[in-house]
Amino acid sequence: MAGKDCVLAIDQGTTSSRAMVFDRRGAVIATSQYEFTQYFPSDGYVEHDPDEIWKTTLKAAQDVVTKVRTENYNVTSIGITNQRETSVVWDKKSGEVIHNAIVWQDRRTAPVCRRLTADGCGDMVQAKTGLLLDPYFSATKAAWIIDNVRGARKRAEAGELAFGTIDSFLIWRLTGGKVHATDATNASRTSLFNIETQNWDEELLTLFRVPASMLPEVKDCAADFGATDASLFGKSIPILGVAGDQQAAAIGQCCFHEGSIKSTYGTGCFVLVNTGNKILRSQNRLLSTVAYRLNGKPSYALEGSIFVAGAAVQWLRDGIQIIDSAPESEALAETVRPGHGVYMVPAFTGLGAPYWDPDARAAVLGMTRATGRAELASATLESICYQTYDLLAAMERDGVKPNALRVDGGMVANNWMNQFLANVLNLPVERPKVMETTALGAAYLAALQTGVTMKDIESNWSLDRKFTPEPFDSSKLLAGWHKAVECVRSFS
């Protein structure tokens, strides 16, 4: 890239749509962000309005493009990263969506997944996709939409409807309906994509009852995804990079070598470890997934996904309103004595890895008359660390033993949590200077298409702070946590 060239990263997250512009050294030069509405129409249902996602994304992108232009920067390309699995179905002709997006956290298709499990389909699905039979993934969500919107299945079978994860939907809108594409990482989260052959899989399409004509073309993460309609940004800009948010974060954290690992703490928490060109098949209910695909070559990852991390802090703020802002949880936790005996199991939308229990619901256990806001705040932050412990323990049983954990996401501004995490894991926790690794990863992918190398990217990573484990006896605390998880699971 030339001196004032820069990359626009679109980061379409679960609670907000963000746009960031990065200069050629990976420094942020402009950001804009808009929250959008979360819909909870019924127990376990979570929806977004795709039109609101589009409007907030476009507005954020237009804000930053306008801003950097006044500073004589030239936006040369776009990278997109997105909340994964969230599913949208739209009309190929009009571009209109036919239903709200069904969000990754949504549990409405749990009965279908239970039936398919009872029918003995789990092994085949896991062998082909690396995923488990769980409502988390897109296939059952797409089928639900076409089965529940009047006339939709017929239209889908006639080739009139398109399915896409949020990246596809945004690419479609950004290119004025010219391109229906996705990348291999997003495809790998649908349960319809064979991660070994790197193709949509007939047997899976039949099993989940999703017509092939609805599906986007699957491309590498750094590829030509078309160019934006000239009316949107005053000129047409090529879209050159796409990856799901957790994979983008792994790229932003430079997890390019076998064994390198990162954990992102946003709405949920996601640990990804690079397993190189091998698919590591978990014996411990973790997911095998595509880390990235470049020049037609997939690199794989082992992933642990927790549905609720920062969302539990949001619940403290908006649900029971015991804090005014998320950072207040840190000040409160600092006032609490260790070993207070209160446990929070944040199973608001079921439990993810390694439990995969869609019916579990959240609870606070072990309260006394001395329990107050501080204990609740601290128990909430601790629960996120305990859940990370469970993921790393499962990874270790699968043969992965990291020697440090790179962290990122909105929650890792919380120093108290990072230190507790290092103590519980007995592992150094490293926080990079640029915490917006997800957007950075998307920008890096686009930059790879314009001549930047993986080596250039690696030399950009720099440490903000390392949290070293302190002498700490975690065994009693972990025993209490596991008892609390058991209680929650036996209640459902």
Least separation, in Å, of the C-beta of 63 and ligand ADP?
Answer: 17
Residue 441 beta carbon to ligand ADP: minimum distance, rounded to whole angstroms: 13
344 close to 376: Cβ distance less than 8 angstroms:
yes
Question: Residue 138: phi, psi to the nearest 5?
Answer: -75, -30
In this structure, what are the phi and psi dihedrals at residue 316, rounded to the nearest 5 degrees?
-60, -40
Helix, coil or strand: residue 311: helix
**Cβ closest to ligand ADP, residue 354 vs residue 410:** 410
Q: Which is nearer to ligand ADP, 329 or 383 (CB)?
A: 329
Considering the complex, state which of residue 223 and residue 351 has its C-beta at the smaller distance from ligand ADP: 351
State the nearest-atom distance from the C-beta of 101 to ligand ADP, in Å: 15
To ligand ADP, the closest distance from the beta carbon of 314 in angstroms equals 4
In the complex, the smallest distance separating the C-beta of residue 36 from ligand ADP, rounded to whole angstroms, is: 10
Task: Report the residue number whose CB is nearest to ligand ADP.
Answer: 410
Residues 122-140 as b/e (b if ≥16 CB within 10 A, e otherwise) read: eeebbebbbbbbbbbbbbb
- What is the Rg, in whole angstroms, of the alpha carbon atoms belonging to the chain? 22
Burial label, 187 (beta-carbon count in 10 A; 0-12, 13-18, 19+): buried
Least Å distance, CB 381 to ligand ADP, is 7
Residue 429: strand pairing partners: 405, 467
Report the interface residues with ligand ADP, using CB under 6 A.
Answer: 13-16, 266-267, 310-311, 313-314, 326-327, 329-330, 409-411, 413-414
Of the pair 56, 414, the CB lying nearest ligand ADP is at 414
User: In the 8-state DSSP scheme, what is residue 492?
Assistant: -
Is 416 or 481 the residue whose CB approaches ligand ADP more closely? 416
∠ at Cα 46 (56, 36), nearest 5°? Answer: 20
Name the minimum Å distance from CB 417 to ligand ADP.
6
Q: Please say whether the dihedral angle defined by the alpha carbons of residues 449, 451, 455 and 460, taken in this order, is positive or negative.
A: negative
User: Would you say 64 or 215 has its CB closer to ligand ADP?
Assistant: 64
Question: Which amino acid, one-letter code, is at 249?
Answer: A
Query: Residue 143 or residue 425: which is nearer to ligand ADP going by CB?
Result: 425
